[in-house]
Amino acid sequence: MTERIQQIESEFRQFVKKIEDYKQALAVLAWDSRTGAPKKGIVQRSEVIGTLSSEVFALSTAEEMASFLGELREESVYNNLSEITQKTVDECHKDFERNVKIPKDEFKEYVMLQSQSEALWEEAKEKADFEMFRPNLEKLVAFKKKFVGYWGYEKHPYNTLLDDYEPGVFVETIDKVFGELRDQLIPLVKGVTESTHQPKTDFLFKTFPKENQKALNLDILTEIGYDFEAGRLDETVHPFAIGINPNDVRVTTKYNENDFRVAIFGTIHECGHALYEQNISQDLIGTPLCDGTSMGIHESQSLFWEKFVGQNVGFWERNYDLMKKHSSGQFDNVSLEDFYFAINESKPSLIRIESDELTYCLHIIIRYELEKALMEDKITVKELPQAWNDKMEEYLGIRPSHDGEGVLQDVHWSFGAFGYFPSYALGYIYAAQIKEAMLADLPYFDELVRNGDFAPIREWLTTHVHQYGKMKQPGEIIKNITGGGIDSKPLVRYLEEKYRRLYKF
């Protein structure tokens, strides 16, 4: 019996490894397409990506997969598998169920709708014309509702959508933590807006030559502990991090010569994602577990480094001179205090991706509330623009003048990504919980940052988060670290303390 189990376990792992090898090839193709693949090659490249993706889909839903899962999920067999194989079986089974439950024709129609909608959204956004995009958005919402019907749901249809990005996290929890967060943030944002103590920021926008920024970014990445032997830094219009496997995790950045913050904080952010993927256990290579456990936990890692390290005052006590050395004199008459206040400027703004850490979560909460209302049929697509603008006014005190800077600003819905947005705010919440828990083990955290001694911080994150990949769900990771559940209080404490101090209110 045991021998038979070992044999089928090994065959299954071989089968899964093949899928994962294809996914690695797809990741390299994706990286290449985004970093400088020749323009004229686009059509051929989509063909190749299409062929490989179809193969991944075919293998993931093959008879062979079904038969592996059938055999391996039998209790007497399952209990004799290694833990990694067990979780691999779970993951493959989840994926299998998702993929086979949608009728092929409908899925094909949906994929075609997605690809039309992205281009249409772009045009509608530019023209600030919601009506132009509305019919497609209505179809996308209808498809998602139908899919939820096929997949089934517990308690709330939105839970099934959340499961794609934040497995094990449900509407009930999010309602609670987002509600508390919103109620605490609104007065804080008001306090900042009304404060008479505002930062000087003119020096942020002076010319910082690209080559000098590059040198600075390389220095900072190296100091933080990004492993350049297992990665590389390139330049793209939309920065990203991509993990091909833990030994090859690449980051990109973009340089704005009139605003150095774009590159430096963007690079640190992507580096946070990359450190996660570089430190996933090598034992998970060749399984679908060799990846971040959720969008939210992934975002917690990028935000941890961007906010709690990169915007830590100690970080700049250490690196302000390095920054000055690389720049062309723009900070010569700027005190560290003024610099620090400037890079932490907060004010309500219309565009999510340009907003700051204090206001960001409110942008997300608006999207979450609207998505949920759509799924509950409490609002129609037609009513979205008005509802959006009202919430912006209520939460942030500003109102978009047109839908291009309102409901049309984000690409996500155009490819049907409902349930994705909450992860961004969960990332902030997790990051603050992780930071508080870390302080118990590393009480001299600020000192470590000030000394550039990042190894203990990286090791702590590896031990408690990174190494597991998808072996633990987000809720389990938070539970293990904090002893409790998802909680917005640490984030509120951090923001409250920081912004009251900065803006003196």
Among 6, 10, 41, 383, binds a second copy (CB under 8 A): 41
Shortest distance, position 152 Cβ to a second copy, whole Å: 35
By CB under 8 A, name the one of 88, 159, 245, 300 that touches a second copy: 245
Residue whose CB is less far from a second copy, 38 or 484: 38
Least separation, in Å, of the C-beta of 80 and a second copy? 27
Closest CB to a second copy among residues 49, 77:
49
* Position 11 contacts a second copy (CB under 8 A): no
> Residue 238, annotated ligand binder?
no
Is 13 near a second copy (CB under 8 A)? no
| Residue 331, number of CB atoms within 10 A of its CB | 21
- Token pair of 41 as six digits: 């090659």
Q: Is 326 annotated as a binding residue?
A: no
Judged by CB under 8 A, the chain residues 267 through 326 that form the site for a second copy are 285-286
DSSP 110-141: HHHHHHHHHHHHHHHHHHT-HHHHHHHHHHHH
Rg (CA), the chain: 23
Which residue in 270, 306, 357, 369 is the catalytic one?
270
Q: CA 481 to CA 116: how far, in whole Å?
A: 43
Residue 156 annotated as binding? no
Q: How many CB atoms lie within 10 A of CB 261?
A: 15
Convert 283-315 to b/e letters by CB count within 10 Å (16 or more is b): ebbbbbbbbbbbbbbbbbbbbbbbbbbbbbbbb
Give the one residue of 1, 43, 353, 440 binding a second copy; rule: CB under 8 A: 43
Distance in Å from the first CA to the final CA of the chain: 70
Q: How far is the CB of 111 from a second copy (least distance, A)?
A: 18
Judged by CB under 8 A, the residue of 92, 140, 224, 230 near a second copy is 230
Residue 329's Cβ-count burial label (10 Å; 0-12, 13-18, 19+) is: exposed
The sign of the torsion formed by the CA atoms of 428, 407, 375, 101 equals: negative
Closest to a second copy by CB, 277 vs 299, is: 277
CB of 273 vs a second copy, minimal distance in Å: 16
Which of positions 52-81 make contact with a second copy (CB under 8 A)? 52
Residue 222 binding a second copy, by CB under 8 A: no
Question: Strand 233-235 relative to strand 248-253: parallel, antiparallel, unpaired?
Answer: parallel
- Active site annotation includes 270: yes
Size of site (CB under 8 A) for a second copy? 35
Residue type (1 letter), 139: K
Is 490 within 8 Å of 300 (Cβ atoms)?
A: no
Show the tokens assigned to 399.
């109102």
* Shortest distance, position 469 Cβ to a second copy, whole Å: 15
In this complex, which beta carbon is closest to a second copy, that of residue 307 or of residue 466?
Answer: 466
Query: Rounded distance, CA 502 to CA 188, Å?
Result: 12
From the annotation, which residues make up the binding site for Zn(2+)? 269, 273, 299
Residues recognised as catalytic: 270
Give the binding site for a second copy (CB under 8 A): 17-18, 21-22, 24-25, 28-29, 32, 36-41, 43-45, 47-48, 51-52, 227-232, 244-245, 247-248, 250, 285-286
From the annotation, which residues make up the binding site? 269, 273, 299
